[in-house]
Amino acid sequence: MGIQAELRGSAEQLLSPNELVIFDGSLSDTANGISYDNAGIFTISRNGRFLINWWVSVSGATALPINFSLNVNGVSHSIGSSLLIEDQISGSAILVVDSAPVTVSLTNDTGGIVVLADTPVQANIVITGWAI
């Protein structure tokens, strides 16, 4: 069980440093205990183990490397980086939740502005969970 969300229709959108990636909404939501608020925050409200895979397509930046950070309760949990101006940056993490709820978000962790790619889909995230 899990949730998948995409960011579409945000081609060439500018993301400031520390700005959340705001996904357009969920494509697939079979998650009992994982929700999305349509403002960039996923909430995991049950204990368990969770695999999180994500990617973001970029076409420019005012600083290198380009970094995106997967944050858990506002703290960086894993970072994906690229030294290329045009790239698809990805990352994954295994998250063990012993004291739900926790929040998960994806942010521009670059020291400058990042430009999202002019592609049909600019970002994707999948959170899959299983009980402890």
Closest CA to 40 of 24, 60, 64, 29: 24
Sequential pLDDT tens for the chain (132 residues): 899 999 998 999 999 999 999 999 667 777 678 999 999 999 999 999 999 999 999 999 999 999 999 999 999 999 999 999 999 999 999 999 999 999 999 999 999 999 999 999 999 999 999 866
36 is written with which tokens?
Answer: 């999305």
Pair of tokens at residue 15: 């993301």
Whole-number Å distance between alpha carbons of 39 and 24? 9
Predicted TM-score of the model (pTM): 0.93
State in words which class domain 2-130 has: mainly beta
Q: Taking the CA of residue 118 as centre, how many other CA atoms within 13 Å lie in the half-sphere pointing to its CB?
A: 2
How many angstroms separate the first and last alpha carbons of the chain?
13
CA distances from 110 to 25, 34, 95, 119 (A): 24, 27, 23, 21
